[in-house]
Amino acid sequence: MNSNNMSKIQIAKAKRLRSTPYTSRIEKQGLTAYTTYNHMLLPAAFEVSLEVSYYHLKEHVQVWDVAAERQVEISGDDSDELVQMMTCRDLSKSKVGRCYYCPIIDDQANLINDPVVLRINKNKWWLSIADSDLILFAKGLAIGKKFKVNIKEPNVDIMAVQGPKSFALMEKIFGKSITELKFFDFDYFDFRGVKHLIARSGWSKQGGYEIYVENTKSGLELYDYLFEIGKEFNVKPGCPHLIERIESALLSYGNDFDLNDNPLECGFDKYVNLDSDVEFLGKEKLKQIKAAGVSKKLMGIMIDLNRINLSRALDITIDNKIVGELRSAVYSPTFNQVIGIAMIKKPFFEIDTSVEIIIDKVTKTGKLCNIPFV
C-alpha cells in the first residue's frame, strides 16, 4: 500500500517481523519492498512501476500475500457479547457465512481497528484485522468483564485474488459456484480434497476473493496452481495498491485514521448504529458527538502536483492557518495529479474549498472533494 514510497533504505529482517508461508515465493517473484503490518511482512512493491501494476490490477488478475491481515478468533458462550461490545455496528442480525466491516472503538469512541468480521458459526467469530493488536484489547475487556470466551490468533494466512479476471481464474479452479458467491459472503470450497474458507472480498474495488488458508501445505499448492493455471489471464503477484486504494477510498488504519479519531469523523456513519437496541462501548459518547456535529472530517483532496512521497502527515493551511492534515497521497494517472486523504477541521470541510500545503518547502495548492474519487 506504499508501493511508490521507495526509500532506498533496506528492511532488516528478524523473527519479530514474521515471514508468511508465501514469503519465499514472492521474493523469487521479484519483490522489491516490504512494509510491516501486524508484526508481519506485507509486500509493498514488485519489479514493475506503481503505474504498471495499477493498470494490471484494473485489467487482469493478481495474487496477493496478505497473510499480515491476521485473525483474532473469539469463541465461547460470551463471544457474541464481547464482539458486539467492541463495535458500533449492530451485529444482532448477523448471519453465519457473512462478512461485516466493523469499526472497533473504545469507551471514548476512539478507533482501535477496523476489521472485517466473519461470523464463522454460532459461537465463533474471526476478526480480520488492520494494523493494531486488537487481540490485546479483546483480552483486556474479556478479563475485566469476566467473559467466558477463548481468544486467540489462529494459523490463518490469507491470499487475495484481485482484479476483474479473478472470477474467471477462480471458476477454473473451484467451478461455477464460486462466481455465484455474493459480495462479502463466504463459504468453503474444495481444492484437491482440502476445504478452504473463501470470501468474496479484498482490499481493492476491482473485484475478487480472499482465501483464508488454514491448511498451509494445501494453500501453497493452491498459490502455485493459481500462477500455473492463471497464465491465460495474465496473472501476476501483487499487493494492496496505493493508487487504487486511495482512488477507491479504502481507508487505512494508522494512515488515514487512528486512536485519535472517531467513526463519525471518518465517514463510517452507516456502520454507527446509534438507534439500535444493542449495547456497545462509546455509544453515549457517539450520540453526543452526533448531536454536536463532528469537529473534523476525512475528505478527499486534489493537489496541483504530479509526484509525492508521503511518509508523515503534512499540514494543510488556508491563509497560513492550519485547517487539517494530509494523511495519504499518491499521483493518480486517472486524474493526472496527486490525490489524497485529509483530515479537515470544522468549518473548513466543505467540497471545493481551496487549501495550501507546503511540500519540500514549496507551497502547493489543492482543493477538497468527496471520497471515493472514482
The residues of the shown chain that bind a second copy, judged by CB under 8 A, are 1-3, 5-19, 27, 31-36, 39, 44-45, 106-107, 112, 131-145, 153, 252-255, 259, 281, 309-313, 327-328
And the C-alpha cell for 141? 475487556
> How many Å from the N-terminal Cα to the C-terminal Cα in the chain?
18
For the CB of residue 190, give the shortest distance to a second copy in the complex, in Å: 30
- Closer CB to a second copy, residue 313 or residue 369? 313
DSSP 176: G
Q: Supply 13's cell numbers.
A: 529482517
Which one, 113 or 166, has the nearer CB to a second copy? Answer: 113
Q: How far is the CB of 322 from a second copy (least distance, A)?
A: 17
Closest-CA residue to 88 (of 254, 227, 281, 322): 281
Nearer to a second copy, 93 or 146 (CB): 146
Buried b (16+ CB within 10 A) or exposed e, 232-248: ebebbbbbbbbbbbbbb
CB of 236: closest distance to a second copy in angstroms? 18
46 neighbors 53 (Cβ within 8 angstroms): yes
d(CA 359, CA 202): 33
- Helices 79-86 and 134-145 pack at an angle, to 10 degrees, of 120
Shortest Cβ 99–a second copy spacing (Å):
23
User: Which distant-in-sequence residues (6+ apart) come within 8 Å of 109 by Cβ?
Assistant: 88, 262, 263, 281, 282, 285, 286, 289
Q: C-beta of 27: minimal distance to a second copy in Å?
A: 7
Buried b (16+ CB within 10 A) or exposed e, 341-353: bbbbbeebbeeeb
In the bound state with a second copy, the residue whose beta carbon lies nearer, of 254 and 293, is 254
Closer of 151 and 198 to a second copy (Cβ): 151
Q: Considering beta carbons, is residue 153 or 214 the nearer one to a second copy?
A: 153
CA geometry: angle 22, 61, 120, nearest 5 deg: 60
Helix ranges restricted to H, 197-315: 216-229, 242-247, 283-292
Integer-rounded Cα radius of gyration of the chain:
21
Pick between residue 139 and residue 172 the one whose CB is nearest to a second copy.
Answer: 139
Nearer to a second copy, 14 or 291 (CB): 14
Closest approach, Cβ 55 to a second copy, in A, equals 20
Question: Beta 362-369 vs 99-101: how paired, if at all?
Answer: unpaired
Comparison of 218 and 309: residue with beta carbon closer to a second copy: 309
Q: How far is the CB of 299 from a second copy (least distance, A)?
A: 16
In the complex, the smallest distance separating the C-beta of residue 35 from a second copy, rounded to whole angstroms, is 5
CA within 13 Å, CB half, 69: 24
**Rounded to the nearest whole angstrom, what is the least distance from the CB of residue 182 to a second copy in the complex?**
31
Least distance from a second copy to the Cβ atom of residue 10, Å: 4
104 to each of 95, 159, 222, 290, how far by Cα in Å?
Answer: 19, 24, 33, 17
| CB nearer a second copy, residue 134 or residue 338 | 134
